[in-house]
């Protein structure tokens, strides 16, 4: 998702006449990279490797550390990658000769905010933070981050005590410090933008994740096993903030009501293994697949009667909107929204599906039983699709460029 978002935003910037150069590690955080491969590719190096991006922009690839699903491995990955980016920025002559007018840092990864601050100070230019999640509010949920990931290892149990809480406090302080000194902030939801504008009094913009997605043709008249069977797709992160065990329990409850719910989860994340085990224990039909490229999802989109947009009940997530929401709207796929806040309002206002509260498997089971028995509810209008296209072509580019030019003109 970050690569797709920023390929789209880079294209918008370049169409407007701006020149863009990118500092980023190679894509690796959802890939299995062995230490042997990492060492052979010199992932430990602080020297940048130059390549061309999807829109012809210059990309400087930094070093990185192989990622994983545990919190400890992810912390090490983000810290190492930030250090490699920092050292590379301070040493790279080409970036200094480029003389940028503005630095933009996209968060997460959280340490990127500090790298952005240092780079902007070194180059003596303003900077914008692009907040793709509900930070810093998500720090308040840190004690629940491992809920749903299964039994903790002794190492993680120790880490989640004092050392982890100290690290969380330090990271939260760092992000707040960098945010207080930035020249502008872009967010992916209007609720988060309003909240930050009130708290920080900075130039802000809502730039939703309405980047172009692969469209699929769906046979909306195909025969279904009326009243007895429902195909439910979830494609996205199988992570801590989703807590998809709720959907497995709902499928079991629907099954007890005489409706067979076939679930298909496509993605990666910390709960991949625990979800498999829970599905086996509950004896529900779960097809668990690893992450796929967007064009590979077309078959799953055709298979689905409805698609899940699913978050847990953390207060901070009420100002977050999963990017998959827009992709499903654009493809006119009925959404089973297990969400609250802005995402729920969008789905309901645009008549893109149905919404139930998070962490209420009974409500979700009742919805699925109703959809199976009233299949006409699965056929949604093009209102959501039209709205997403308008946001993509008109609203988001204008808001983003206005923020960039407003901040850039203030240096």
pLDDT tens digit string along 355-396?
999 999 999 999 999 999 999 999 999 999 999 999 999 999
Residue 318: pLDDT over 70: yes
* pTM exceeds 0.85, yes or no: yes
Q: 136 vs 86, which has greater pLDDT?
A: 86
pLDDT for the residue numbered 88: 84
410 — pLDDT class (breaks 50, 70, 90)? low
Give the mean pLDDT of 58-68.
Answer: 82
219 has a pLDDT exceeding 70: no
Question: Residue 53: is its pLDDT beyond 70?
Answer: yes
The predicted structure's pLDDT at residue 156: 54
- Here the tokens at position 403 are 């923020």
pLDDT of residue 327: 96
Residue 376 has a pLDDT of 95
Q: Give me the pLDDT at residue 65, please.
A: 77
* CATH topology identical between 2-211+391-408 and 229-380: yes
Q: Which CATH superfamily is domain 229-380 in?
A: Glycogen Phosphorylase B; (3.40.50.2000)
* Helix, coil or strand: residue 44: coil
* C-alpha span between 351 and 381 (Å, rounded): 7
In terms of Cα–Cα distance, which of 298, 291, 155, 273 is closest to 214? 298
Tokens of 2: 């970050």
Asked if residue 159 has pLDDT above 70, the reply is: no
pLDDT digits (tens, 9 = 90+) for 181-214: 999 999 999 999 998 988 888 999 999 999 998 7
List the single range of 26-30, 231-235, 330-334, 389-393 with lowest mean pLDDT.
26-30
From CA 162, how far away is CA 144, in angstroms rounded? 15
Q: Assess contact for 232 and 307: CB atoms under 8 A.
A: yes
Q: With 80 as the cut, is the pLDDT of residue 5 above it?
A: yes
Average pLDDT of 280-307?
94
Q: Using omega within 30 degrees of 0 as the cis cutoff, is the peptide bond preceding 108 cis?
A: yes
Most trustworthy range by pLDDT among 50-54, 69-73, 135-139 = 50-54
The predicted structure's pLDDT at residue 145: 56
Is 95 within 8 Å of 60 (Cβ atoms)?
A: yes
For the chain, the average pLDDT equals 87
Q: What whole-number distance in Å separates Cα of residue 59 and Cα of residue 233? A: 35
Class of domain 2-211+391-408: alpha beta
> Nearest-CA neighbor of 9 among 207, 213, 191?
207
Identify whether the C-beta of residue 254 lies closer than 8 Å to the C-beta of residue 284: no
Q: Where are the domains of the chain?
A: 2-211+391-408, 229-380
| Residue labelled with tokens 């200094």 | 96
Identify the pLDDT of residue 163.
65
What pLDDT score was predicted for residue 330?
A: 95
Name the pLDDT band for 258 (thresholds 50, 70, 90): very high
State yes or no: pLDDT of 354 exceeds 60: yes
Please give the Cα distance from 22 to 104 (Å, whole number). 10
pLDDT (mean) for 21-45? 73
Lowest mean pLDDT among 108-112, 145-149, 267-271: 145-149
CA-to-CA dists, residue 256 to 249, 276, 279, 369, angstroms: 11, 20, 15, 10
pLDDT reported for residue 362: 98
């Amino acid at each position: 998702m970050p690569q797709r978002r920023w390929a789209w935003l880079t294209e918008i910037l370049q169409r407007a006449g701006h020149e863009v150069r990118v500092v980023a590690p190679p894509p690796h955080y959802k890939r299995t990279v062995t230490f042997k491969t990492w060492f052979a590719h010199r992932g430990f190096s602080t020297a940048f490797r130059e390549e061309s991006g999807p829109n012809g922009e210059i990309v400087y690839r930094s070093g990185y550390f192989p990622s994983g699903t545990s919190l400890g491995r992810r912390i090490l990955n983000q810290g190492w990658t930030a250090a490699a980016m920092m050292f590379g920025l301070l040493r790279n002559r080409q970036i200094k000769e480029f003389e940028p007018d503005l630095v933009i840092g996209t968060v997460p990864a959280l340490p990127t905010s500090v790298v952005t601050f240092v780079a902007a100070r070194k180059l003596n230019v303003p900077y914008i933070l692009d907040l793709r999640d509900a930070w810093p509010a998500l720090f308040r949920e840190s004690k629940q981050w491992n809920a749903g990931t299964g039994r903790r290892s002794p190492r993680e149990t120790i880490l989640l005590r004092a050392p982890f809480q100290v690290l969380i406090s330090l990271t939260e302080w760092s992000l707040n410090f960098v945010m207080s000194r930035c020249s502008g902030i872009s967010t992916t939801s209007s609720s988060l933008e309003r909240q930050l504008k009130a708290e920080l009094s900075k130039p802000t913009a809502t730039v939703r994740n309405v980047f172009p997605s692969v469209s699929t043709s769906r046979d909306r008249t195909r025969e279904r096993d009326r009243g007895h069977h429902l195909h439910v797709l979830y494609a996205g992160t199988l992570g801590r903030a989703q807590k998809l065990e709720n959907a497995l329990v709902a499928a079991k409850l629907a099954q007890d009501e005489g409706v067979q719910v076939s679930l298909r989860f496509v993605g990666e994340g910390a709960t991949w293994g625990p979800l498999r085990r829970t599905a086996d224990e509950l004896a529900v039909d779960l097809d668990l697949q690893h992450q796929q490229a967007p064009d590979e999802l077309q078959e799953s989109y055709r298979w689905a009667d409805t698609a899940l947009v699913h978050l847990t009940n953390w207060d901070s997530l009420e100002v977050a909107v999963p990017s998959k929401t827009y992709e499903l709207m654009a493809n006119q796929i009925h959404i089973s929204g297990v969400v609250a806040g802005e995402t729920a309002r969008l789905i309901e206002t645009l008549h893109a599906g149905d919404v139930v509260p998070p962490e209420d498997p009974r409500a979700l089971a009742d919805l699925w039983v109703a959809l199976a028995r009233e299949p006409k509810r699965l056929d949604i209008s093009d209102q959501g699709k039209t709205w997403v296209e308008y946001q993509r072509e008109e609203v988001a580019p204008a808001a983003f460029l206005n923020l960039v030019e407003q901040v850039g003109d203030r240096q």
